[in-house]
Amino acid sequence: MIIGITGSIACGKSLVSNYLQEKGYTIIDADKIGHMALENDEVKKQLVNKFGKSILKDNEVNRVTLGKLVFENNENLKELNNIIHPQIRKNISEQIQVHKNEKLVFVDVPLLFEAKFDDLVEKIIVISLDEKIQLERLMNRNSLSKEEALQRIKSQIPVREKEKLGDYVVDNSFTQENTYNQVDRILEKLKLGE
């Protein structure tokens, strides 16, 4: 069974993915695939054509510079996604094929719904978090101002909306142990095919 893990930025998707990986499950990480896609010559060429050479540093895409461009302008974000999402989708599909014989495979995709990748998975776990904690975590983790952090949060479907679209919700507003316990309960259901 292919299970998507999603949620808004800084909600704890990596915490859950790392926990599942420690338990021996395969994790297909869309962020890592996205970073690799930025190294693809054709993708790089399209990005430079759209955003200019200022996004390059030592002939590689500077993710910080690109991030500032796209999170300050919704049109730029759409353009980036139009360029990079087909490559990410292709790579995720290939990875799913490689692991298709495993009982449970998890695909960590921050923009699962936004990119319309939800058709690649059979079940969806949404990682949720109190909005105030989310804002604080994002500001601290990425060294962002409140305004910059809010821009990034608002560029995604609100976590409360994602909760309604998922099959399971993990509330990561409490302790790590609490989050792991919620994941363990979901794993039991998934093993039973629920």
Same domain, 112 and 73: no
In sequence order, which residues have a C-beta less than 8 Å from that of residue 21 and are 6 or more positions away? 27
Strands 123-128 and 2-7: parallel
* 10 in a labelled binding site: yes
**Is 114 in the same domain as 95?**
no
- 115 belongs to an annotated ligand binding site: no
Domain match, 19 and 112 both: yes
Q: Does residue 43 share a domain with residue 1?
A: no
Domain boundary among 45, 74, 101: 101
Report d(CA 107, CA 105) in Å as an integer.
Answer: 7
Consult the annotation and say whether 15 binds a ligand.
yes
| Single-letter amino acid code for the residue at 107 | V
**In this structure, are 22 and 108 located in the same domain?**
yes
pLDDT score, position 20: 99
73 and 124 housed in the same domain: no
Write down which residue in 101, 125, 147 finishes a domain: 101
Q: What is the CATH number of the domain that holds 60?
A: 3.40.50.300
Q: Indicate whether 96 and 139 sit together in one domain.
A: no
Same domain, 140 and 184: yes
The domain tally of the chain equals: 2
Q: Is 14 annotated as a binding residue?
A: yes
Q: What is the pLDDT along the chain (194 residues), one digit of tens a residue?
A: 999 999 999 999 999 999 999 999 999 999 999 999 999 999 999 999 999 999 999 999 999 999 889 988 889 999 999 999 999 999 999 999 999 999 999 999 999 999 999 999 999 999 999 999 999 999 999 999 999 999 999 989 999 999 999 999 999 999 999 999 999 999 999 999 87
Same domain, 150 and 95: no
Residue 182: give the domain boundaries: 1-26+104-193
Nearest to 112 by CA among 162, 67, 170: 162
The verdict on 19 and 115 lying in the same domain is: yes
